[in-house]
A and B are shown apart, each in its own frame.
Chain A
Amino acid sequence: MRLLEKVFLKSLWVFHLATGSCNNCDIEILDCLTPRHDIERFGMLLTGSIKHADVLMVTGAVNRQCIPRIKRVYEQMPKPRLVVAIGECALSRGVFMQSYNCPMPLDHVIPVDVYIPGCPPRPEAIMAGLLKLIERRKENRAETGRENDSR
């Protein structure tokens, strides 16, 4: 498992799921790929299939139609897996708090590892969040000498 964890953190593949967002968060994620920010230098890659993904990036104010689908996508993800909530919508539903169609924030649906606030967060913030995630996992491993529970 040690080796797996080491390899895992070297190259995270990211799957992006929009659950009723206004697109801005999604665009900022794509923006991370483009020449100015170029997230690929950290070994991260946006993948088109959940079965290849290590990280699930969720944007948007989770709406009623999405809830079962988010769960399904999460279940299809291979372990170890990480979930990142991006933007105010996924964190707390933001301006859509009172909407009849957005009953709960994302962390009531699936467990979330990192929260990146902002409406939308800047690409720099998204990268910083992901890098912190990697750092923390590495530290944890050094401290406890064992693996994180790979949910």
Chain B
Amino acid sequence: MAKTIIPIGPYHPLQEEPEFFILTVEGETVVDIDLRIGYNHRGIEKLCEQQTYDQVTFVVERVCGICSTSHPFAYTQAVEDILSIEAPPRAQYIRTIIAEGERLHSHLLWLGLAGHFLGYNTIFMWAWKLREEILDVMEILSGNRNNYAMFKVGGVLRDIKKEDIPTVQKKVDSIVPTLKKLRSAVMDDPVLHARTKGIGVLSREAAIDYCAVGPTARASGVARDIRKNSPYGVYDQVDWNMVVTENGDVFDKVLVRLGEMFESVKIITACLSQLPEGEIDCHITEVPPGEGIGHIEAPRGECFHYVRSDGTNRPERHKIRAPTFMNLPTFKKTVIGGKIPDTVITLAAIDPCYCCTERMTVQDLKGQKLYTGEDLIRLSQEKTDQIIAEMRR
């Protein structure tokens, strides 16, 4: 059978690292996938070397809008590693609260888009409506809906006011019933099971071989979570569980993320009730020569920053490794052998890629056949309709 090449990308909104996929298909089956990255290049690492330590926090915040806490968090840890200091306890608590709020909104965002690609726009609307509540919480805490600007080397920039805590707690609690409803909607729906179970399976061995991180690895039974393995912030002082599942398919990745949202609520509640009094900043004046690393668990997996200082007020070298960089190559395992309508959700399952589908084109080698991204989403949604129709019969 003739092989068909499907280029996907490179530009798709909503994601930290746009990339360009080249799918090779035979009929309906995907036989190969290739990957190019570097389309959204803004030269951030170089830019960081031109900024002072205080300014860099704001630049790394804009590496990715969805992870706008993870990058400053990892960066401040790296600089604090050079200084061999730790932020004051109250600052650590505040950082943890913000980081978990971000995880909640990021997972909801993903869930909504995954629902959309499967033809469940109701889930999209529900999840994004719920996400607004989280954004309200973030706005109360930091003054911004996104790009919170809370981080600072040696502490945080803003304190949490006492009178805000009850409101925040109420808002966070109020999302739990809806989250439960969402979870049961996903768990009980036979169509969703049919669309996601056994699709895009990443085995445990493959997850380890490809160094998968975050929910992608945890869905394959690899118990890897920086928050537990190498605790930072106050994750070792509050009670929470790592969510790990065994099968590695798309369904399990949904389960892991749904589970983590409940854990995040738990962590935020515990942090708010245990919030100690005291300083929120330890007033750093200069950074000595040396090198430091910081790694944290972003919503998508491990986010790693390396900073080398030469004693001036700017970093000499700043290296960033975002989680998606590690997760992307797993497509080699998950997509190959799958069907075209399933690629959309498989690519979306690691959470970089819900948007690449918007700019997908399917083209056969001789250029006779042309599908657009919309067609692919339509194919995916049609498959869901088909399953529904079959089940009714």
- A residues with CB within 8 A of B: 16-31, 34-36, 48-49, 59-61, 63, 65-66, 69, 94-96, 98-102, 119-120, 122
Chain A residue at minimum C-beta to C-beta distance from B359: A48
A-B contact pairs, 23 of them (CB 8 A): A17-B13, A22-B16, A22-B64, A22-B65, A23-B15, A24-B62, A24-B66, A25-B65, A26-B65, A30-B14, A30-B128, A35-B125, A35-B129, A36-B132, A49-B374, A59-B13, A63-B40, A63-B42, A66-B11, A95-B58, A99-B46, A100-B43, A100-B46
Report yes or no: B65 in contact with A27, Cβ–Cβ below 8 A. yes
Within 8 A of A (CB), among B12-62: 12-16, 18, 39-44, 46-47, 50, 58-59, 62
The smallest C-beta distance from A21 to any residue of chain B, in angstroms, reads: 7
Q: Which of B14, B18, B373 contacts A27 (CB 8 A)?
A: B14
Q: Which of B12, B50, B128 has the most CB of A within 10 A?
A: B128
On whether the beta carbons of A48 and B43 are closer than 8 Å, the reply is no
Nearest B-chain residue to A64, judged by Cβ: B41
Main SS class of interface, A: loop
Given pairs A17-B11, A19-B11, A120-B145, 4 additional interface contacts (CB within 8 A) = A20-B41, A27-B65, A27-B109, A35-B129
Q: Please, how many angstroms separate the alpha-carbon atoms of A9 and B125 in the complex?
A: 26
B64 touching A23 by the CB < 8 A rule?
yes
Asked if A101 and B41 make an inter-chain contact with CB atoms under 8 angstroms apart, the answer reads: yes
Contact present for B146 and A48 (CB under 8 Å)? no
Given A26-B13, A34-B132, A120-B146, A95 and B59 touching (CB < 8 A)? Answer: yes
5 tightest A-B contacts by CB? A24-B65, A26-B13, A23-B65, A18-B13, A34-B128
A145 and B204 alpha carbons, distance in the complex (Å): 69
| A28, chain B: closest CB distance, angstroms | 7
Assembly CA distance A65 to B19 (angstroms): 13
Q: How far is B14's CA from A23's CA once the two chains are assembled, in angstroms?
A: 4
A58 to chain B, nearest CB (A): 11
- Residues of A contacting B65 with CB < 8 Å? 21-27, 120
- Nearest CB on B from A17, distance (A): 7
Please state if B43 and A101 are interface contacts (CB–CB under 8 Å).
yes
Q: Is B68 an interface residue (CB 8 A)?
A: yes
Which chain B residue shows the least CB distance to A33? B128
Contacts of B129 in A (CB 8 A): 34-36
B252 adjacent to chain A (CB < 8 Å): no
Count the A-B residue pairs with Cβ separation under 8 angstroms: how many?
Answer: 111
The size class of the interface chain B forms with chain A is: 35 or more
Q: Inside 8 A of B15's CB, which chain A residues have their CB?
A: 23
Question: When the two chains form the complex, which single residue of A18, A36, A98 contacts B12, counting CB atoms closer than 8 Å?
Answer: A18
A94 to B41, CA, bound (A): 15
Question: CB-CB < 8 A to A18: which residues of B?
Answer: 11-14, 18, 40
Residues of chain A with a CB closer than 8 A to B12's CB: 18
Instruction: Check: B63 CB closer than 8 A to any chain A CB.
Output: yes
Q: Within the assembled complex, what's the spacing in Å between the Cα atoms of A29 and B146?
A: 13
Contacts of A21 in B (CB 8 A): 13, 40, 65
- Pairwise interchain contact B41-A31, C-beta atoms closer than 8 A: no
Residues of A within 8 A of B43 (CB): 96, 99-102
Instruction: Tell whether A27 pairs with B146 under 8 Å between CB atoms, given A48-B358, A48-B373, A98-B47.
Output: yes
Contact A99 B47 (CB under 8 A): yes
Instruction: Tell me which residues across on chain B come within 8 A of A94, comparing CB atoms.
Output: 62
A27 and B66 contact, CB distance less than 8 A: yes
Which residues on B sit within 8 Å (CB–CB) of A24? 62, 65-66, 68, 146-147
- Structural contact, B132 and A49, CB atoms closer than 8 A: no
Q: How far is the CB of A131 from chain B (nearest CB, A)?
A: 20
Q: How far apart sit A75 and B15, CA to CA, in the bound complex (Å)?
A: 26
CA–CA, A49 and B378, complex, Å: 14
Cα distance, A19 to B13, chains bound together (Å): 8
Minimum CB distance partner of B109 in chain A = A27
Among B18, B41, B42, B50, max chain A CB count under 10 A is at B42
- Residues of B contacting A59 with CB < 8 Å? 13
**When the two chains form their complex, are residues B14 and A96 in contact, meaning their CB atoms are under 8 A apart?**
no
B372 at the interface (CB under 8 A from A): yes
A48 — which chain B residues lie within 8 A by C-beta?
A: 358, 372-374, 377
Q: How far is A23 from B113 in the complex, measured between Cα atoms in Å? A: 14
Provide the bound-state CA to CA distance between A34 and B125, in Å.
6
**Which of these, A20, A30, A100, A119, contacts B40 with CB under 8 Å?**
A20
